[in-house]
Amino acid sequence: MRTRILSLAFFLAAISAALPATASARPALAGFERCPAGSYCLFEDADGNGHMVAFRGGSPDLRRQNMDNKASSFANNSGVMWCVFDDYRYGQAHISHGALPRLRGNFGEINDLASSTRAGNLQTGCR
């Protein structure tokens, strides 16, 4: 009986080794694709790379997320307009950038200037 069980175990092991692996491993998400649905994301590096922070509500102070004056790119998967400001508490000292829904890209000339972010309004913009 024991010989029969061992023979069956070896047989099953041999068949398993001969069959191709069927488990499909998903590739890890990269770049802008890391931004979850329903979120607005800021990335430390260009093209959605580096440290990422995802928002569903605003942040009056990006120091809390270790992203103050570090954001180089963004992805808006929220369905609403989002704004970034170079002052804390949504102050509009120098920049006000509005990202429309489903927009993603690099900040360019406002690279590394954002200090706060929140949802905006298509009618009134980032006021």
Residue 72 tokens read as 């180089």
Residue 20 lies in a domain: no
Q: What is the CATH number of the domain that holds 75?
A: 2.60.20.10
Q: How far apart are CA 55 and CA 48, in angstroms?
A: 15
Residue 114 lies in a domain: yes
Residue 3 lies in a domain: no
According to the model, what pLDDT value does residue 11 have? 42
- Report CA torsion sign: 49, 53, 56, 57: negative
Residue 2 backbone dihedrals phi, psi, to 5 degrees: -65, -40
Q: How far apart are CA 110 and CA 18, in angstroms?
A: 56
Q: Provide the residue type at 51 as one letter.
A: H
Residue 77 lies in a domain: yes
Residue 14 lies in a domain: no
According to the model, what pLDDT value does residue 93 have? 59
According to the model, what pLDDT value does residue 12 have? 40
- pLDDT digits 0-9 by tens, 111-122: 999 999 999 888
Domain count, the chain: 1
Q: Which residues, at least 6 apart from 75, have a Cβ–Cβ distance to it below 8 Å? A: 32, 35, 40, 41, 43, 48, 103, 104
Residue 21 lies in a domain: no
Quickly state the pLDDT bin for 98 (edges 50, 70, 90): confident
Residue 81 tokens read as 């307009």
Q: Is the pLDDT of residue 64 over 90?
A: yes
According to the model, what pLDDT value does residue 38 have? 95
According to the model, what pLDDT value does residue 100 have? 84
Q: Is the pLDDT of residue 22 over 80?
A: no
Query: In which domain, by residue range, is 100 found?
Result: 31-119
Q: Is the pLDDT of residue 20 over 80?
A: no
Residue 61 lies in a domain: yes
Average pLDDT on 33-62 reads: 97
Residue 65 lies in a domain: yes
The more confidently predicted of residues 14 and 81 is: 81
Average pLDDT on 90-115 reads: 83
